[in-house]
Structure 1
Amino acid sequence: MSNFIWKQEVCGSGFGYSRVVLGPIEWNRDVDFVPDPGPWQRNHKLPYEPEEPFYTHNFPPLVTGPSVDPPPREPFGPPIPLFARLGLHCYNLQKGTDLQFVAVHKIYTWITSICSYLVMLEVLDPIRNSCCEFETDVRHAVENIDCLSAIITRLEEGRWYGFNKDVVDFFFKGAMPEWMPEGALTETEKLQCYEMKESEVEEEKEWLHLYAELALFSLWQSKLEELESAKPFDLRKIIVRTKEDVEPKKKVKAENAIFYISFKTRCGQECYGIIRKTTDGMPEHLSLEVKCLM
């Protein structure tokens, strides 16, 4: 297959490796829909260790430029905003941060036997009330019919580290499961399964909606307009299955888990998403395998 490299500059809400760029934001003045930050924002650097305490009393309020409509969405092509948010979710999940998506600035696309997307985006640190640049790299390929596999890893000092599937627990390998296995909620299996409570779903709804959207994308990869019109989703029932012997609420954040998410689209279509999340032990490495049943 021929190799292509594409470079795009876009704005939108917007998966692969994740890292925060430790330097000032390089704002592209040729893109008229990018908000013009104040000088204090351009010089902000996110601390390398997010565990360090943040202090907000010396920071001025967030400054944004005039509101400008982004360019129209293409009806076909990758859902870059979804990929960017998933990359940010991976970083927040492993670092314990709460960085929030603001806008996509640039996209670099490589197409070989898989599709790779390097997305540069702007994120907001709500604690410091300031913005910084964030990069995320997403690679995905359709390995089976109606099943999408996506890899989120980190690029470090110009070196690329692939996701090592050989070290993934055998329980989370092989063909994707269908809907909830029979007997999974019986007494002998309760250690592995946990049904999220309504309050927990509300607390984690942002990334649960991302998982539901990714599941539907695996089914509607060439129908981005339909995917957008199907939102917002109504999350109905969420069951987490994992081997980690931890208290029920912590199963949601397990490194290796299978999520069974039943949800309704805005028009009332019942959907059943299966999301298998695994890691290979490397920092900021995450694999998501998804399928959707209707």
Structure 2
Amino acid sequence: MVLYGRLGVHWFNFEQKRKLKFIRIPKLNTEHPFSFSYFITVEVKDDDAAAADSLTLQTLVRRPSFPELKLLMERCRIKPAEISDHSFNCFYQSFRGCMPTFLSELPEEADDDDGVRFYEVQAKDIDNNDWLRLYTEFALFQVCEAGSHSFLPQQMKIKKILVETREPHTDPSLKLDSMNAIFHISFRANSCDYTSVVRRSTDGISGHMFLEVENFSRQVPS
């Protein structure tokens, strides 16, 4: 649940241009009889605020199917802000359907459009956007669910991230700010190399986000 709570903090920060820091989860409720809906209360600290008091963030994350890792966020707010309940509308048209195949490089026959669509994340981008590591931790989480072992995220190392989006940006690095984007991630954990695709899509309603994670390969050193 910590990952789900951190996802709520990330998306609130992303949409509202805030710098809230995750502290802990003091309360968690599930929707019975089905436990794929998680109402999470997160204690956060505002790095931009002079006050030492913490804030309360509330988020609703659904995972409607297993073992697929598809997360539907339908609520993300600072208490006691009022929100309107909206069910998720159709997702961004371009990202419907099956997950794309993992890409380690630009397509071999890349044209000008491909050059505009892709951006290779730099080390400074990862330092400045800790949610890139969070997305990679979700990929690692799926690895742990699929296997009989587990290992701490601290043992994870991001090797490369390629961002793909159709949203226009004059500065390639601003593709990280796209509301709808695909992240081709390669990382190393527990002496193995993994490749994963993370797709983020929205429906235009504040607090809504759909995150899909799919791992494609695992390479064990010889």
Alignment TM class, shorter chain as reference: 0.7 to 0.9
- The alignment partner of 1:220 has SS state of helix
Amino acid at match of 1:94: E
Identity, % of aligned positions = 29
Question: What is residue 141 of structure 1 aligned with on the other side?
Answer: 64
**Is residue 119 from structure 1 mapped to residue 44 from structure 2 by the alignment?**
no
Amino acid at match of 2:181: A
- The alignment partner of 1:214 has SS state of helix
Contact 1:215 1:292 (8 Å CA) reproduced: yes
Contact 2:44 2:57 (8 Å CA) reproduced: yes
**Is residue 273 from structure 1 mapped to residue 187 from structure 2 by the alignment?**
no
Contact 1:141 1:148 (8 Å CA) reproduced: no
TM-score when normalising by structure 2: 0.84
**Is residue 131 from structure 1 mapped to residue 60 from structure 2 by the alignment?**
no
Q: Shift in Å at residue 164 of structure 1?
A: 1.2
**Is residue 207 from structure 1 mapped to residue 131 from structure 2 by the alignment?**
yes
Contact 1:219 1:291 (8 Å CA) reproduced: no
Question: What is residue 245 of structure 1 aligned with on the other side?
Answer: 168
TM-score when normalising by structure 1: 0.64
Question: What is residue 187 of structure 1 aligned with on the other side?
Answer: 111
CA distances 1:202-252 after superposition (whole Å, capped 9, x unpaired): 222x211110111222343376970x4353321111100000110201101
Question: What is residue 183 of structure 2 aligned with on the other side?
Answer: 259
Residues of 2 paired with 1:130 and 1:259: CA distance?
35
Number of aligned positions between the proteins: 208
Which is richer in strand? 2
Q: Shift in Å at residue 97 of structure 1?
A: 0.2
Question: What is residue 95 of structure 1 aligned with on the other side?
Answer: 16
Question: What is residue 234 of structure 1 aligned with on the other side?
Answer: 157
Change in CA separation of 1:271 and 1:194 when aligned onto 2, cut-off 3 Å? same
Give the greater-gyration-radius structure (CA): 1
Contact 1:209 1:233 (8 Å CA) reproduced: no
Amino acid at match of 1:191: V
Residues of 1 paired with 2:163 and 2:105: CA distance?
15
Contact 1:168 1:278 (8 Å CA) reproduced: yes
- The alignment partner of 2:145 has SS state of coil
CA distances 1:76-132 after superposition (whole Å, capped 9, x unpaired): xxxx10100001100000000010011111100125567010111211112224311
- The alignment partner of 2:133 has SS state of helix
CA distances 1:159-216 after superposition (whole Å, capped 9, x unpaired): 5322112x522x2110111211885362331111110122222222x21111011122
CA distances 1:21-50 after superposition (whole Å, capped 9, x unpaired): xxxxxxxxxxxxxxxxxxxxxxxxxxxxxx
Residues of 2 paired with 1:224 and 1:132: CA distance?
37
Aligned with residue 168 of structure 1, among 83, 88, 92: 92
Residues of 2 paired with 1:222 and 1:160: CA distance?
34
Question: What is residue 196 of structure 1 aligned with on the other side?
Answer: 121
Change in CA separation of 1:201 and 1:131 when aligned onto 2, cut-off 3 Å? same
Contact 1:150 1:288 (8 Å CA) reproduced: yes
- Unaligned ranges ≥5, structure 2: none
